[in-house]
Chains A and B, each alone.
Chain A
Amino acid sequence: MMLTDAEFQAILNDPTKRIDGDIAWRNDEDHSPSVEFYANVISNAGWPLVVWGSFNPLIPAVSYVLIYKNVGRVYGMDIGKDHHNPQCDQVGEKHKHRWTERFRDKEAYVPHDITAPAPELVSVRQQFCIEARLKHNGKLLDPPPHQKELPL
């Protein structure tokens, strides 16, 4: 399935998108150093959207992404990982991906609205939600404490 630019913009502009309930970070299936959460997004239009969040405290790196089922990531934000655009420019360790018909999710830009550093998970999430016009009726709980362990 291919999403058009107009459809993506309609999804992003839809102010009825919301997540209901508190969100808890959990370990992933590998019990890796990262923690993650997954939440369904409800909207009046019924967009098939989910939000993933993940945080790797060893880097530290955080990502929040909006996934359109059967298409993949349509919008996302990464901190702690550099990006190389198809036009060959380096974007930097804080960047956002937005869906376009031409490049799908491969083009990123520097988001001037994201000012919080990666470890401030709640602040970063709030700033992500503002541009994504995503309301969260609940709390993002603190991640479980990270066990400092050498991966040997």
Chain B
Amino acid sequence: MINGSICQKLAEQLPLLFVCEERGEYVRIRTPYLYPDGDIIDLFCKKEGDVVVVSDLGETSRWLRMQSTSPKRTPKQRAFIEDICLNHGVEFYRGMLMARCRPDDDLSNVVTRVAHAALRMSDL
């Protein structure tokens, strides 16, 4: 009974941590995750045909670049990013973390994967 109530509370409350809002041509998802300085990780979705593209629009890479004086990532950082993308099934295209949600995919799963990749990349 107690475990059931914990599960019920989580089922009710977890979705509220992700706030969606239309922003121009995108739907912005404000996640509960933070970059290491406390800035909030936002993701952006856009529907193209029957696919929804979920991306950070390059904000993680931009955030990371603003933290140091180095204009280029190190080979080690590049290798870690490749590893993170492999791990979470996310692409790194033109500085953007992104994943496609096809009709049979679970959008919440895709959003969580991209958010998790952003979180890990920001720790580099």
Instruction: Give the B-binding residues of A (Cβ under 8 A).
Output: 28-34, 36, 38, 50, 52, 54, 56, 58-59, 61, 63, 65, 67, 69, 72-73, 76, 78, 81-86, 97, 105-108, 150-152
Collect the chain B residues with CB atoms within 8 Å of residue A83's CB. Answer: 37-40
- Least CB distance from A53 to B in Å reads 9
Residue from the list B23, B66, B96 in contact with A54, Cβ < 8 A: B66
**Interface pair B55/A82, CB less than 8 Å apart:** no
**Interface pair B37/A82, CB less than 8 Å apart:** no
Number of interface residues of B (CB under 8 A): 33
> Known contacts being A52-B65, A59-B57, is A28 close to B95, with CB within 8 Å?
yes
Residue from the list B26, B30, B57, B93 in contact with A56, Cβ < 8 A: B57
Collect the chain B residues with CB atoms within 8 Å of residue A67's CB. Answer: 67-69
Count A-B contacts at CB 8 Å: 105
Instruction: Give the A-binding residues of B (Cβ under 8 A).
Output: 23, 26, 30, 34, 36-40, 42, 44, 46, 48, 53, 55, 57-59, 61-62, 65-69, 71-73, 93-96, 98
Further pairs besides A30-B61, A32-B96, A83-B38: 8, Cβ < 8 Å = A34-B62, A54-B65, A56-B57, A63-B62, A81-B39, A97-B37, A150-B53, A151-B94
* Residue ID in chain A nearest B42 by CB atoms: A81
**Interface pair B61/A28, CB less than 8 Å apart:** yes
> Known contacts being A59-B59, A82-B30, is A31 close to B38, with CB within 8 Å?
no
**Interface pair B65/A28, CB less than 8 Å apart:** yes
Can you list 12 pairs linking A and B with CB atoms under 8 Å apart?
A28-B62, A29-B95, A31-B94, A56-B58, A58-B26, A69-B69, A73-B67, A82-B40, A83-B39, A85-B38, A107-B38, A151-B98
Collect the chain B residues with CB atoms within 8 Å of residue A73's CB. Answer: 37, 66-67
Query: Which has the most chain B C-beta neighbours within 10 Å: A78, A81, A151?
Result: A151
| Complex alpha-carbon distance, A69 and B73, angstroms | 16
Residue from the list A54, A82, A105 in contact with B62, Cβ < 8 A: A54
> Known contacts being A52-B66, A73-B66, A151-B55, is A84 close to B94, with CB within 8 Å?
no
Residue from the list A59, A65, A72, A106 in contact with B38, Cβ < 8 A: A106
> Known contacts being A28-B65, A81-B40, is A38 close to B59, with CB within 8 Å?
no
Collect the chain A residues with CB atoms within 8 Å of residue B37's CB. Answer: 73, 83, 97, 105-106
**Interface pair A32/B58, CB less than 8 Å apart:** yes
Ordered nearest first, which 3 A-B pairs have the shortest CB separation? A32-B95, A30-B95, A32-B58
**Interface pair A29/B71, CB less than 8 Å apart:** yes
